[in-house]
Chains A and B, each alone.
Chain A
Amino acid sequence: MGEQVGLSFDLLVNALIAGILLGGFYTAVTIGVSISFGILDIVNIAHPAFIILGSYIAYIVNARLGLDPIATSVVMLPAFYVLGAGIYQVYYESFERRGQEALRGLSFFFGLLFVTEVMLILVFGVDYRYVEAPYIGPSWRIGVVDLPLRMLVPCIAALAMFAALELYLSYTFIGRAISAVAQDQLALRLMGASPIRIKRIAFGISIATAAVAGALLIIIQPVEPSVGREYIGRVFAICVLGGLGSLPGTVIGAMLLGIIESFTATFYGPSWAPAVAFGVLLLTLAFRPAGLLGR
């Protein structure tokens, strides 16, 4: 009897720790959308597709040159930034300026999501790909707690990225201008900053985070092109749960969803996990659409 209680307590603690580690990783996946959707009001549903693109770049470089996936993603940051800035320019010229972002802008991102996924299928096929790194495999054991490095390293990297972005948004001129875009564009213009330029920079940053998130994703699990779709529900659920436009809210939302999913997987089986995010999303929208730390 005592054995059984001890066992389920271990299970509980480990499910909690696994959830927190997973939540850390979800922060990296969501933070880009938190900027584009939360601050800039651009419903970029194609974000997960760019994450998968990041995963495949990490995979190619890892397979060909043996480079560390996280290091690769840091090198790729400028390229993803330019990609994001370019996409924003097209989005602005074609939709935002004409006030057509609701129907056509959304369809545009849906098309991008779709095209990216199909192109990856055409080039790489639907086989699962994975990377090799020294921290994939071993795990630390502290008492009854299991800390797989495969989860711990992405969690730490994700939180580091969050901290860097939060500092950037709070303490630099451009960072503060980005936060201001959401609040008062006229005041921003009076300060001598062009809202379009600020939004382009912010959207570039949001896509750049996808490079890192993609590398972290392929460390955690093998990736195939359609994996990104599972993240659409999650990403927006976290965003809404945390409160739009709040990066600390995103971390809290990500941790919460990670813990809930981890418990569901431990007690009901992993095949139910994708449904959890949707439940959280619908409940939040129904009862507290402003989220936990919403503006």
Chain B
Amino acid sequence: MRTRVFLLVLIAVAAVVFFAARLVSNDYVFFAGYTVLQFVVLATAWNILGGYTGYVNFGSAAFFALGAYATVFLHKLYPLPIPLLIVTGGIVSGIVGFGMGYLTLRLRGAFFAIATLALAIVLQTLVVNWDYVGGSRGAYIIRPNEIAFIGPYIQYLFLLMLALAVIALTIARGIERSQLGYGFATIRDDELAAEASGVPTLRLKLVATTMSGALMGMAGAPFPYYIGYLQPSSAFALDYAVNSIAMPMIGGTTSWVGPLIGAILLGSLQQIATVTISSAVNLLIVGLLLVAFVIIAPNGIVGLVQGWMRGRAK
């Protein structure tokens, strides 16, 4: 399937999802759906770096929060339309991703992972100490009730996140089938050999970190409007870091389908579990699933299904 056809199919699916959600005529569907879609974007973004090149980013929360706080910052200056804020959030997080990559990617992979872990803590320290964006008290963003043409504001936010998910998935699939994707795969499989045969590994890795970071920032940009009151602890929540790793790992990291499956499964599971059980228990479930999957099913659900089909074909 050509990328353009794929995009059209995704848009059609997204349209069906949106109108089906409107049929339910209950705002909760949009609130829950927004969170699941946000995880689709985060998981896909994480996988562009983690799954395709094999470099682990533990700082998804940092990139997400950067996007969210870019929105808070700009909102205080002048209220802009959200699509513009999404672009700015993407640019800010992309630049930080590039900088982090530039400083650490020339060394062993572990250093990049450690640096991303620490990045979340440092950015949180900066935000807590920065009164302009609310400091440790947090910042209020007043969400309008209605918007023209669409109706309730949450439906507008839902639609935006749906569009972001379509964009992220199209990019991920596009990369897989391009020269860029093959370059990424050589890095994942044997970086030394890739380097020796003339693959510009550092440049490719920087492209991956920048794209991955930018998409995470874009996912974070509308978040202040969704939540209404943004605190450092909610923007930098560990949920984002663990989920954006667990979802691709559980779904399968080798193709765009894996993060999508992982995000929909785990995201919906958590929406149900948060309502019925406590949120700590549902994070425990995600953590245990992550550990179990990396040990038992290294290629995730996609790998399990492929193995099962291959077994049947024999």
Show the binding face of A for B, using Cβ within 8 Å: 37, 43, 45, 90, 94-95, 98, 100, 102-104, 106-108, 110-112, 114-115, 117-119, 121-122, 226, 229-230, 232-233, 236-237, 240, 271-272, 274-275, 277-279, 281-282, 285-286, 289
Contact = CB atoms under 8 A, between A and B. Distances in A.
For the residues of A in contact with B, the DSSP-based class is helix
B119 A122 contact: no
Contact of B115 (A37, A114, A115, A282): A282
A122 B281 contact: yes
B114 interface: yes
Given A110-B245, A121-B280, A233 B107 contact: no
B114 A45 contact: yes
Contacts of B118: 232-233, 236-237, 277-278, 281
Given A90-B295, A108-B295, A114-B283, A278 B242 contact: no
Contacts of A272: 125, 129
B295 A122 contact: no
Contacts of A108: 291, 294-295
Nearest to B119: A278
Given A45-B114, A112-B291, A117-B238, 6 more contacts: A111-B242, A111-B291, A119-B284, A122-B281, A271-B125, A281-B118
Contacts of A37: 110
A281 B107 CA distance: 13
Given A108-B295, A275-B122, A289-B107, A281 B114 contact: yes
29 contacts: A45-B117, A94-B295, A103-B253, A104-B294, A106-B113, A107-B56, A107-B245, A110-B56, A111-B246, A111-B287, A111-B288, A114-B238, A114-B242, A226-B238, A233-B117, A233-B121, A236-B114, A236-B118, A237-B118, A240-B111, A271-B128, A272-B125, A274-B125, A275-B122, A275-B126, A278-B118, A281-B115, A281-B118, A282-B104
Contacts, number: 121
Contacts of B245: 107, 110
A274 B121 contact: yes
Contacts of A229: 121, 238
- Interface of B (DSSP majority class): helix
Contact of B54 (A103, A271, A277): A103
B291 A43 contact: no
B221 interface: no
- For the complex of A and B, 8 pairs with smallest distance between CB atoms: A233-B118, A111-B291, A115-B287, A114-B287, A278-B122, A111-B290, A118-B284, A278-B118
Contacts of B56: 102-103, 106-107, 110
